[in-house]
Structure 1
């Protein structure tokens, strides 16, 4: 249910995780009823799966919905067929020689003109493709190997010779194992680390590289941060076709990663061979293990020096076991652990701990002993209930990432929808290795938080809440010292409190992402000098002048958001040649906006345009100039807009057009054809 809401950009009900199975089935049937949809269930192993899931689908799903199930087991496919006469089984065939050759060339020769195979490698390439016998994954795996080799005949022949014996076995796992064997030493542990996470799990970028760094997998260099080196490792694994990018951000950067199921099987075998990690449940090996991963942890308990599994509660026994027996522990990741509401005082004895996360748990207080974790590099408290840090936090001089904020889903559209953390004593300025600090609250009596922040000159990401007008100059002085800053997110204490950012004379030149939440009236001049800015979002700023004039020539800008009366005027005009690289435009809740004009030659690379409740808007002109548009999303648009707007230019585009309205508490979505008919009826009346 959550994924349905999220995929359609809808608000996820807060109580959805607490519903019983019957209620979820009923709600799911109601949600899908009358809608057109496609749902895919990937890599199903349980032959009773279809019998369970079909009850949650509307009776008319054969008319308006399609279900796709992929499986490696014939029994699963046959059981689906038996359960319903509407089921069609499609057996995937091996690739034809022509298709296999095309896939190979696309993967290996991306840098060659038109992806063509060089003449001197043609014969060897055809031999390799032939030996793969049409197996797509084998072709991709070998392509990943070849991508690291020089395009010389001798280099390729050497690889072909070493591959031949494995290829002739036609075992895809053996072929994929060669990709692991070919990895340089520093990448092998990084690759195996994906086995710690559950099957089909998408791992966030930040979580992954911070744990790699904590493990000591990442080699430091003089001119690059550890995070930058870790990112290079990830890119190399992707280029070798061992890691898949699962989710991409607006600027093309990967947000989440995952691995193919077969590769995970290889990883699990390797982990067992070298005692890399003990995965519970499912791991059979005994003896010493360096790491432990618990999947579905609410059903298992760990006790004793050598972990054993039994049903029952896990968290308290696990914490006792960790503190008592795992003194060399470097990483303790409790993200989304159910029912975890505290950390024991004894956690301070884990002197070697470098990564501690209670993200998404019910933990509300950090023990005083946290100050003993002098090697801690990452403290992730996001979406927990920790809002105050112990005085001794200042002793954690190696801390690089401190994330501590909680989102209030009931106030999602309020300036204080996210609550940060408070520091009641001096000392945060001692943490000079800090690179990410999100969100620290400014309104603390007795502590000059800005004097402290001025010492954190290595910061790359800074988030601040509850700023007052009088804080503006002090904040600006801090920002001018943060030459490494890449992301800044600042919010005033209320929507009517002035956010004074005018006095920056030398802004951080590496700033890429900027979020301004509070009253500005006028856009600070220094923003126009940010050459590397890729995203800017403005909220509650009530800008009096059209901000597009100031922002239109930012050379790297990819996303622009003006929301919740970020602009307080009646007209926005995108001029010819403006915003040459912009891909995403969001205009939400601009209460005074009446007219939006897009001239020919503007927004030439725009792909996504979202416009939300704008009660005064009567017309948007220039849709025909958006030649690369892919998605247009209208939310709660007024009746006058539907009456007056000409949608003809949108009808000629290939964009996905969606109109969204909340009717009787439920969100409904309509396509352009339905809205055009409604428009005709309204005009006829």
Structure 2
């Protein structure tokens, strides 16, 4: 982690030297260059030193010093920028102000120069120790410490035995599936990869299959190779050759010892030719390792098998490239399986004493179906007295502390930390940052990556936006089984993610060690460490008097705060010398106005005031010149001041309110100041009210926009709007909302060029016809149409779009029939048909909607009949019916009825009626 702190600082130092060249004196510039060069020379040493720090207290202290000097350097740089790089408008008063500031800042310059010299002295001392430790501890530049990693990896092998000896439950079905894949009729070489999070029991599963007598007797040759992070091809091939010759009871030929990699691969390939073999490659981390060794395995027609275990999805899928290859994902244990395993180990049978059941289930919930965690925690509890409930309560409260000690839970930490240690430095910071979120929190993926960006964790990459790079980071952490997807969108996008409770406990430990994040669940702030960098509050803090603890604070993140004293308490905290704050997250806080202290935060990049009661934004918002992200969704703000135009770095502006009204809802935007088009950096803009022609024309100036929502559109805006949309070539999401329900959205004007990357389109308002340009949106995956009241069947215009996965037609059609033709909507997963009052029938031809999974029919006059051909929807998982006649519902429940037979194969059917202002729902 110290490596990541230094790496990010080196980027900042280079940018600082480039941007502040005119403000730096010669001596100050040289000292900063010296600090950059010395830290740069230490960076290669840091990762290897961190691998040894747990066992060497001197290295641990040295790494702490490196981290702290990097943090302090960052603070001094930002203090310099704040004092000497402020924006001043032209004019006599501003020139007078500049003269005054320059005189005032002489003392400030001396103060900063003194701090830089002090940091330089510390860096010189640290650098000298670096050179000494490099020889003392035999740490090379680059590469992992073989011995350290090897010791941890031996724990994994030991835990595989532990899992096996524990009579692991829940393995029978995955074992059966894996045996079926290995023993199928395919005569060619087949790769079967088993992938999943560390501790899920991948090795145990494959070991049981490998040693199963049914499998054993099907193969002439058997071998098990542990690949792991320390993979060395020559060593692995020699180990394999030794096992192969053990199989035939002969000594290994002497010439093998002197062979290079190519000859060893050829030797193995020749040995295995025309033999039916099964070889396990356990704990494969990198696809490069597979690429290096796979050529040793001949592609004969003997029905041979390679079985791989890995934590990394890309490695698993990259090794399964042929049509007959197979990827099997390990699943977490169910609640029942977890309880059985827990009781077997803790109590020796499946009987838990009644007085321990509640605390046992609460402890078990932390494990979330992870076998290694269940076994380890059960092993600890098995040694506790069953009569002392307080000892069990203490284990629940101090689970993280248990992992910091020695014993079974410390082993869990080391095994899961192998995945962390394998991450590049920039992903380590992103993962540890997840500790800011409360336990079991459903994290909005978009919000998470915006915070990563504001924190400076995302490295720019040529040809990609910073958001695209950040999304790549999230996908990579998911790929490595460190972050779980909690909910996908129908288009395959990640809507919500989460982190396993046990892994969260582990990253809380590491984050606290590295002073990356301090998490408070309530209480006195005097318990906080000194010089905290990021503070996440999951409960009310009553005491803010020790302001020195917050001088270095970069982020303040508060979750769902409802204390009525919160606003005054927040003001006290913000007034306590928080000059360097870059992230302020106050979603759901009990706020009616934005504290004045917020507008003194020169470095603030991220400000989230969503779902607060804030009613207005003062003109002092213009002081936040570095603000990139402003979120006022769900607040009471309806207008922005003209000073918002000073925020030239603003990339995302989110100001709208979505109100619930009966069975429908409206979207309310904000009144924008004139000249809003001056915010040229905007990439996301939700939702701007159109109240004059100038606003419509200004939209054309947002050439960086990727997401846009416009409200209060009138018919007269149509032609100018279509002209402006033609300038937004980067657009991915577009929401157009009319000023009133009966107002026509006049969109039948040419848009040139077509926004070819548009993926989401939502239209709210009357349409005379589906806009002609919609037919050309080849990337469109989602289209929602509300109140369109079309007379022509919209399906004719939409069925040719190749990537549609989600359609909503809400009061969008006034015809009597909807007809889904064979071959249409080949990727559609979800269809919602709502409030089509004239609709009499829906027909689905065989071959239409082949992948439809969710069908919603609400408030439609379908004469109480199901869509004709619904039985052809073989993939349908859920049918939701709203406001249907009771007689029809009764016919669905009658197992002898024709209607019942049509839906008998659908796993989930929901029936709902609007009663007393809410939906009364039940499942058939």
The answer to whether the Cα contact below 8 Å between 1:588 and 1:613 also exists between their aligned partners in 2 is yes
- Structure 1 partner of 2:168: 94
Q: Does 1:115 align with 2:193?
A: yes
Q: Does 1:608 align with 2:859?
A: no
Cα drift, residue 145 of structure 1: 7.4
SS in 2 for 1:510: coil
Cα deviation digits, residues 646-673 of structure 1 (max 9, x gap): 414434413312222235666444555x
**Cα distance change, pair 93–459 in 1 and its aligned pair in 2 (3 A):** farther
Q: Does 1:387 align with 2:638?
A: yes
- Structure 1 partner of 2:272: none
Distance in 1 between residues matched to 2:288 and 2:906, nearest whole Å: 41
The answer to whether the Cα contact below 8 Å between 1:617 and 1:640 also exists between their aligned partners in 2 is no
2:536 to 288, 293, 312: 293
Cα deviation digits, residues 164-198 of structure 1 (max 9, x gap): xx999971112112221221111111001100111
- Structure 1 partner of 2:657: 406
Distance in 2 between residues matched to 1:350 and 1:394, nearest whole Å: 18
Cα drift, residue 225 of structure 1: 0.4
1:366-377 residue pairs with structure 2 within 5 A?
366-377=617-628
State the 4+ residue runs in structure 1 displaced beyond 6 angstroms. Answer: 96-106, 116-121, 142-145, 152-157, 166-170
**Cα distance change, pair 126–321 in 1 and its aligned pair in 2 (3 A):** closer
SS in 2 for 1:199: coil
1:214 to 454, 457, 472: 454
Distance in 2 between residues matched to 1:438 and 1:365, nearest whole Å: 17
The answer to whether the Cα contact below 8 Å between 1:344 and 1:367 also exists between their aligned partners in 2 is no
Query: Bigger radius of gyration, 1 or 2?
Result: 2
- Structure 1 partner of 2:158: none
TM-score of the superposition, structure 2-length normalised?
A: 0.55
**Cα distance change, pair 453–179 in 1 and its aligned pair in 2 (3 A):** same
TM-score of the superposition, structure 1-length normalised?
A: 0.74
1:583 to 825, 829, 840: 829
SS in 2 for 1:448: helix
Cα drift, residue 238 of structure 1: 0.8
- Structure 2 partner of 1:432: 680
The answer to whether the Cα contact below 8 Å between 2:426 and 2:457 also exists between their aligned partners in 1 is yes
**Cα distance change, pair 324–170 in 1 and its aligned pair in 2 (3 A):** closer
- Structure 1 partner of 2:515: 275
1:252-267 residue pairs with structure 2 within 5 A?
252-267=492-507
- Structure 1 partner of 2:10: none
- Structure 2 partner of 1:223: 463
1:655 to 907, 911, 921: 907
SS in 1 for 2:620: helix
Q: Does 1:478 align with 2:730?
A: no
Distance in 1 between residues matched to 2:179 and 2:434, nearest whole Å: 28
The answer to whether the Cα contact below 8 Å between 1:558 and 1:582 also exists between their aligned partners in 2 is yes
The answer to whether the Cα contact below 8 Å between 1:301 and 1:315 also exists between their aligned partners in 2 is no
The answer to whether the Cα contact below 8 Å between 2:687 and 2:710 also exists between their aligned partners in 1 is yes
Cα deviation digits, residues 510-546 of structure 1 (max 9, x gap): 0100001101021111111110100101111111111
- Structure 1 partner of 2:50: none
The answer to whether the Cα contact below 8 Å between 1:594 and 1:618 also exists between their aligned partners in 2 is no
Q: Does 1:574 align with 2:820?
A: yes
- Structure 2 partner of 1:196: 436
- Structure 1 partner of 2:86: none
Distance in 1 between residues matched to 2:720 and 2:547, nearest whole Å: 53
Of Structure 1 and Structure 2, the greater helix share is in 2
**Cα distance change, pair 122–218 in 1 and its aligned pair in 2 (3 A):** farther
- Structure 1 partner of 2:750: 504
**Cα distance change, pair 125–610 in 1 and its aligned pair in 2 (3 A):** farther
SS in 2 for 1:236: helix
2:780 to 533, 543, 549: 533
- Structure 1 partner of 2:599: 348
1:493 to 729, 734, 739: 739
Distance in 2 between residues matched to 1:638 and 1:561, nearest whole Å: 22
Cα drift, residue 592 of structure 1: 0.6
Cα drift, residue 103 of structure 1: 10
**Cα distance change, pair 545–170 in 1 and its aligned pair in 2 (3 A):** same
The answer to whether the Cα contact below 8 Å between 2:594 and 2:617 also exists between their aligned partners in 1 is yes
**Cα distance change, pair 150–126 in 1 and its aligned pair in 2 (3 A):** closer
Distance in 2 between residues matched to 1:98 and 1:430, nearest whole Å: 63
Distance in 1 between residues matched to 2:174 and 2:812, nearest whole Å: 52
The answer to whether the Cα contact below 8 Å between 2:226 and 2:283 also exists between their aligned partners in 1 is no
- Structure 2 partner of 1:594: 840
The answer to whether the Cα contact below 8 Å between 1:488 and 1:514 also exists between their aligned partners in 2 is yes
SS in 2 for 1:473: helix
CA RMSD of aligned residues (A): 3.5
Cα drift, residue 302 of structure 1: 2.9
1:663-682 residue pairs with structure 2 within 5 A?
663=915, 667-672=919-924
**Cα distance change, pair 665–400 in 1 and its aligned pair in 2 (3 A):** closer
The answer to whether the Cα contact below 8 Å between 2:612 and 2:634 also exists between their aligned partners in 1 is yes
The answer to whether the Cα contact below 8 Å between 1:546 and 1:572 also exists between their aligned partners in 2 is yes
Distance in 2 between residues matched to 1:410 and 1:295, nearest whole Å: 32
In the alignment, structure 1 segments of 5+ residues that lack a partner are: 1-91, 129-141, 161-165, 673-685
Cα drift, residue 335 of structure 1: 0.5
Distance in 1 between residues matched to 2:827 and 2:543, nearest whole Å: 53
The answer to whether the Cα contact below 8 Å between 1:144 and 1:242 also exists between their aligned partners in 2 is no
Q: Does 1:318 align with 2:570?
A: yes
- Structure 2 partner of 1:418: 667
Q: Does 1:542 align with 2:794?
A: no
Q: How many pairs align?
A: 549
Distance in 1 between residues matched to 2:679 and 2:653, nearest whole Å: 10
Query: RCO higher in 1 or 2 (8 Å CA, sep ≥ 6)?
Result: 2
Cα deviation digits, residues 194-234 of structure 1 (max 9, x gap): 00111111211111111100111001112000000001111
Distance in 2 between residues matched to 1:97 and 1:664, nearest whole Å: 48
Cα drift, residue 288 of structure 1: 0.8
Distance in 2 between residues matched to 1:94 and 1:231, nearest whole Å: 37
2:285 to 146, 150, 173: 146
Distance in 1 between residues matched to 2:173 and 2:843, nearest whole Å: 47
**Cα distance change, pair 269–588 in 1 and its aligned pair in 2 (3 A):** same
2:883 to 636, 641, 650: 636
- Structure 2 partner of 1:11: none
SS in 2 for 1:262: helix
Q: Does 1:124 align with 2:366?
A: no
**Cα distance change, pair 573–113 in 1 and its aligned pair in 2 (3 A):** farther
Cα deviation digits, residues 337-365 of structure 1 (max 9, x gap): 1x211112332211110000100111111
Distance in 2 between residues matched to 1:194 and 1:533, nearest whole Å: 32
